[in-house]
Structure 1
Amino acid sequence: MLKRKISDYLESYFTPNRREALLITGARQVGKSYAIREFGKSHYSSFIEINLLEDSIARTSISKASNSKDLLLRITAIASQPLIKGKTLIFFDEVQVVPEIVTAIKFLVEEGSYQYVLSGSLLGIGLKRISSMPVGYLTVKEMYPLNLEEFYRACGISDNIFSVLEEAFKAEREIDSIIHRKLMELFRLYLIVGGMPAVVQTYLDTNDIKKVVNKQREILSMYVEDISQYDINNKLYIKDIFNLIPAELNNPNKRFILKNLNENTKFSRLENSFIWIREAGVAIGVYNIEEPKLPLELAKLRNLFKLFSNDVGLLACQYADGIQLRILNNDIDINYGSIYENAVAEELYSHGLKLYYFNSKKQGELDFVIKLDDKILPIEVKSGKNYLRHNALKNVIENKDYEIEKAYVLYNENIKRVGNIVYLPIYLMMFIKNREIENLIWKIDLSSLPQ
Structure 2
Amino acid sequence: MQRKLLEQLLAWKSSRKRLPLLLEGARQVGKTYLLKTLFGEKYFQKVVYVNFERTDLELVALFEGNIEPQRIINYLSLKFNTSVNQSDTLIIFDEIQEVPRALTSLKYFAEDAPEYYIVATGSLLGIALHSGTSFPVGKVNRLRLYPMDFEEFCWANNMQNQTTEAHDAIQLLKKPLITSGFKDVFQQYLAIGGMPAVVSEWVENKNLTIVEMILKNILADYKDDFSKHTSNTESRRIGNLWQSVPQQFAKENHKFIYKTIEPSARGRDYAFALDWLLDAGLIYKINLTAHGDKLPLSFYSDNSDFKIYALDVGLMRQLASLPASIVVGDDNIWSNFGGAFAENFVLQQLRSLGFDEAYYWASNADNPNQPKGKSELDFIISDENVIFPIEVKSGEQVKGQSLRVFRKKYSPELSIRFSLKSLEYNEGLLNIPLYYSFLFADLIKQKEKLSISDFAFKNNDATRT
Q: Report the equivalent of 2:312.
A: 311
Q: Report the equivalent of 2:10.
A: 11
Q: 2:131, 2:320 → 1: CA distance? A: 36
Greater CA drift, 211-220 or 270-279: 270-279
Q: Report the equivalent of 2:77.
A: 76
Q: Is the 8 A contact 1:21 1:115 kept in 2?
A: yes
Deviation at 1:167, TM superposition (A): 2.7
1:397 to 396, 403, 407: 407
Percent identity at matched positions? 26
CA distance 1:88–1:165, shift in 2 (3 Å): closer
Secondary structure of the 1:156 match is: coil
Q: Is 1:418 aligned to residue 426 of structure 2?
A: yes
CA distance 1:59–1:239, shift in 2 (3 Å): farther
Q: Report the equivalent of 2:441.
A: 433
CA distance 1:332–1:384, shift in 2 (3 Å): farther
Q: 2:324, 2:349 → 1: CA distance? A: 20
Which amino acid in structure 2 is aligned with residue 78 of structure 1? K
Q: Report the equivalent of 2:154.
A: 152
Alpha-carbon displacement from aligned partner over 1:147-203 (angstroms, at most 9, x marks no partner): 1111111111133543335534873x5443xx2222111111000111111000000
Deviation at 1:281, TM superposition (A): 0.7
Q: Report the equivalent of 2:249.
A: 249
Q: 1:170, 1:285 → 2: CA distance? A: 36
Deviation at 1:52, TM superposition (A): 0.9
Q: Report the equivalent of 2:394.
A: 383
Deviation at 1:265, TM superposition (A): 4.2
Q: 1:96, 1:77 → 2: CA distance? A: 24
Q: 1:164, 1:115 → 2: CA distance? A: 36
Deviation at 1:305, TM superposition (A): 1.2
Q: 1:231, 1:422 → 2: CA distance? A: 46
Q: 1:306, 1:14 → 2: CA distance? A: 38
Q: Report the equivalent of 1:357.
A: 360
Structure 2 residue runs without a partner (length 5+): 364-371, 446-465
Deviation at 1:111, TM superposition (A): 3.2
Deviation at 1:330, TM superposition (A): 5.6
Q: 2:58, 2:18 → 1: CA distance? A: 25
Deviation at 1:218, TM superposition (A): 0.7
Deviation at 1:16, TM superposition (A): 7.4
Q: Report the equivalent of 1:372.
A: 383
CA distance 1:291–1:268, shift in 2 (3 Å): farther
Q: 1:200, 1:80 → 2: CA distance? A: 35
Q: 1:328, 1:309 → 2: CA distance? A: 21
Q: Is 1:120 aligned to residue 122 of structure 2?
A: yes
Q: Is 1:44 aligned to residue 54 of structure 2?
A: no
TM-score by length of 2: 0.86
Q: Is the 8 A contact 2:86 2:117 kept in 1?
A: no
Q: Report the equivalent of 2:61.
A: 61
Q: 1:333, 1:15 → 2: CA distance? A: 50
Greater CA drift, 273-282 or 358-367: 358-367
Deviation at 1:126, TM superposition (A): 1.6
Q: How many residues align?
A: 428
Greater CA drift, 293-302 or 39-48: 39-48
Q: Report the equivalent of 2:234.
A: 234
Deviation at 1:42, TM superposition (A): 2.3
Secondary structure of the 1:67 match is: coil
Deviation at 1:143, TM superposition (A): 0.6
Alpha-carbon displacement from aligned partner over 1:339-377 (angstroms, at most 9, x marks no partner): 111101111112221111112344601011111331111
Deviation at 1:51, TM superposition (A): 1.1
Q: 2:314, 2:88 → 1: CA distance? A: 40
Q: 2:269, 2:9 → 1: CA distance? A: 40
Which amino acid in structure 1 is aligned with residue 384 of structure 2? D
Secondary structure of the 2:111 match is: helix
Alpha-carbon displacement from aligned partner over 1:64-119 (angstroms, at most 9, x marks no partner): 22231443343333224222343222111111110221111121333326221101
Greater CA drift, 368-377 or 65-74: 65-74
Q: Report the equivalent of 1:141.
A: 143
CA distance 1:75–1:404, shift in 2 (3 Å): same
Deviation at 1:422, TM superposition (A): 1.6
Q: Report the equivalent of 2:98.
A: 97
Please, what is the CA RMSD of the aligned residues? 2.3
Q: Is the 8 A contact 2:76 2:84 kept in 1?
A: no
Q: Is the 8 A contact 2:165 2:176 kept in 1?
A: no
Q: Is the 8 A contact 2:151 2:163 kept in 1?
A: no
